[in-house]
Amino acid sequence: MQTLLGIDLGTTGVKAALFAADDGRVIADAFIEYPLFHPHPGWAEQNPTDWWEATLSAIRLCLRAGASKGAAAEDVRGLGLSGQMHGVVLLDEQRQVLRPCIIWADQRSDDQCRWITEKVGAAQLIEYVSNPALTGFSAPKLLWVRDHEPEIFARARTMLLPKDYIRYRLTGVLAMEISDAAGTCLLDVKHGGWSQEVLAALELDPSLLPPVVPADAASGTITAEVANQTGLPAGVPVAGGGADNACGAVGNGVVEPGLALVSVGTSGIVLAHASSPQVDTSGPVPRVHTFNHAVPNGWYLMGVTQGAGLSLRWVRDNIGLPERALERWTGIDPYELLSKEAEGVPAGSEGLIFLPYLQGERTPHLDAYARGGWIGLTASHDRRHLVRSVLEGVAFSLKDCYAIIREQGLQLNQVRATGGGAKSPLWRQIIADVLGVELVVTNSSEGPAFGAALLAGVAGGVYSSVQEACAQTVRVVQRTAPDPATAPAYEQAYETYKALYPALKPIISRPL
């Protein structure tokens, strides 16, 4: 039996998942957590060595579980990597890590974003890299190190993204894959190479950046040392892989024009496949990202809701304390109980609106300082309304993303839903109602790890293309149609939601 191994390097931990190549079924998986550090307010860092040790453990556990089900390590035909985007890993001349990785959630580089925009020019930056400078992106983080830790920057010889550091440890190869490189603010997204114009303007040595490799081709092979550490055979090809959202799209079959993906995890995204690099030019800066896809000659447009699942987790941790206590005795998921309560509240939460800006907002505001809250609270509202309004507020933010993508002229024939939030029937129904489209769910329960494994299958010669891999393994298993009876309530609530940010910006958008 041919198998494929997908590795997804997330923010809370790393997942290793083993899949059957013939139909994509999950044979075994393992998840290992690692810490996230906040040295100062607004900062977010992780240690690459923590990632590496967790990855080794996850691979070992996954292969051991697979062997117990008859899937031998010798049957692995390829390994694919997915990972959190934008983080900056700096290596010295001996390829040793110089400092903790500044990850995607870090907000310290606002000054560097302004400097990049002034130095390159706002319009020129969009022309060169198709995206504005944002605190989440890699280039501002790199410049922050140059400005504030010059002794470390002087020793830096290579910059890698998180999953590409794992690639280096697995294969000894220094490389950066194209869909992940697109989020650095240094890649020419239209043509696929490093932007020499931006590098020159920012006075960055091009040698800091490794070669850009395709997502679906072998970038290296498992070394003998790693084989001894994990049980994987030496020589197994390691695919270029992809950014987490690109791999999530592949894992759900969003690899052709007309398909879109709504993902509700800690953050939320609306992503649509594009056959050309389309950029939102309606305002001074694009409201959605334009990135290279993990599909050859493909791109995607993506809007981001910073606080999607994060908002519901906040409710669970601060308002759902009884449900958390009950979980310890019964094992019942607190989210399930909270959602059950919210079902009793009518669409629109009887006028209560939630702004999900718990860690700023990307689409459409590009405001790292935006703050969330409830508006319209009355004595007649209770906890049920608070919960449902959070589900609806996130859906309204996703509608902002969806509407902007539609404005770009993309024909969206089907929207697929994934992520932890999409597993909730109520939340899935609310999103379908708010967007006014049918949501379909695929058999892909592992999302990015599955997409990474399919890319490994192409690199290992199991499939001839990413499209063939998806056609063979990805199937629609569930459909959620919008309820037209809720449309008037949601249209009214959404209009109120849209009016709130500009009205409240002087109050809710300020540094802590």
146 shares a domain with 43:
yes
Over residues 132-141, the mean pLDDT reads 95
461 shares a domain with 411:
no
58 shares a domain with 29:
yes
449 shares a domain with 406:
no
Within-domain flag for 291: no
Residue 180 appears among annotated catalytic residues:
no
- What is the four-CA torsion angle of 475, 249, 370, 400, rounded to 10 degrees? -60
Residue 329 pLDDT grade (very low, low, confident, very high; cuts 50, 70, 90): confident
351 shares a domain with 245:
no
Single-letter amino acid, residue 155:
R
For residue 182, what is the DSSP state?
G
- What is the four-CA torsion angle of 235, 236, 237, 238, rounded to 10 degrees? -110
In terms of C-beta density within 10 A (0-12 exposed, 13-18 middle, 19 or more buried), how is residue 382 classed? exposed
207 shares a domain with 321:
no
3-state helix, strand, coil in the chain (%, to 5): 45, 20, 35
Model pLDDT, residue 374: 98
Query: pLDDT tens across 454-495, in order?
Result: 999 999 999 999 999 999 999 999 999 999 999 999 999 999
338 shares a domain with 464:
no
Q: Do residues 206 and 191 make contact, with C-beta atoms less than 8 angstroms apart? A: no
CA angle 34, 249, 173 (to 5 degrees): 55
Q: What pTM was estimated for this model as a whole?
A: 0.93
462 shares a domain with 398:
no
Cβ contacts of 128 within 8 Å, gap of 6 or more: 120, 188, 195, 197, 198
- Extract the runs of DSSP E, i.e. beta strands, from 432-485: 439-442, 476-480
Within-domain flag for 377: yes
Single-letter amino acid, residue 143:
L
Residue 321 pLDDT grade (very low, low, confident, very high; cuts 50, 70, 90): confident
**% of the chain residues with pLDDT over 70:** 100
Over residues 10-29, the mean pLDDT reads 96
Within-domain flag for 436: no
Query: Taking 90 as the threshold, does the pLDDT of residue 116 lie above it?
Result: yes
Query: 336: domain CATH number?
Result: 3.30.420.40
Within-domain flag for 297: no
Query: Taking 90 as the threshold, does the pLDDT of residue 66 lie above it?
Result: yes
Query: pLDDT tens across 250-276, in order?
Result: 999 999 999 999 999 888 999 999 999
Within-domain flag for 234: yes
Model pLDDT, residue 357: 96
Query: Taking 80 as the threshold, does the pLDDT of residue 511 lie above it?
Result: no
Q: Do residues 84 and 91 make contact, with C-beta atoms less than 8 angstroms apart? A: no
407 shares a domain with 454:
no
Query: pLDDT tens across 411-442, in order?
Result: 899 999 999 899 999 999 999 999 999 999 99
Give first-to-last CA distance, the chain, whole Å: 55
187 shares a domain with 85:
yes
How far apart are the C-alpha atoms of 235 and 253, rounded to whole Å? Answer: 28
329 shares a domain with 236:
no
Within-domain flag for 142: yes
Q: Which residue has the higher pLDDT, 439 or 366?
A: 439
Over residues 11-28, the mean pLDDT reads 96
How far apart are the C-alpha atoms of 385 and 209, rounded to whole Å? Answer: 50
CA-closest candidate to residue 173, choices 219, 136, 129: 219
Over residues 58-77, the mean pLDDT reads 97
Q: Do residues 242 and 180 make contact, with C-beta atoms less than 8 angstroms apart? A: yes
Over residues 96-106, the mean pLDDT reads 95
Model pLDDT, residue 512: 65
Task: Tell whether omega for the bond before 364 is within 30 degrees of 0, i.e. cis.
Answer: yes
145 shares a domain with 231:
yes
Within-domain flag for 343: yes
Q: What are phi and psi of 133, to 5 degrees?
A: -80, 120
How far apart are the C-alpha atoms of 72 and 66, rounded to whole Å? Answer: 7
What's the total number of domains in the chain? 2
Model pLDDT, residue 332: 81
Q: What are phi and psi of 475, to 5 degrees?
A: -135, 145
Q: Give me the chain's average pLDDT, please.
A: 95
Over residues 63-72, the mean pLDDT reads 97
Residues marked as binding for substrate? 85-86
Mean pLDDT is lowest, of 78-82, 124-128, 334-338, 459-463, for 334-338
Q: Which candidate in 106, 164, 216, 244 is catalytic? A: 244
For residue 215, what is the DSSP state?
T
Question: Residue 293 corresponds to which tokens in the numbers above?
Answer: 């896809």
Domain that holds residue 170: 3-253+444-478
Query: Taking 90 as the threshold, does the pLDDT of residue 118 lie above it?
Result: yes
Within-domain flag for 277: no
Model pLDDT, residue 446: 83
Query: Taking 70 as the threshold, does the pLDDT of residue 240 lie above it?
Result: yes
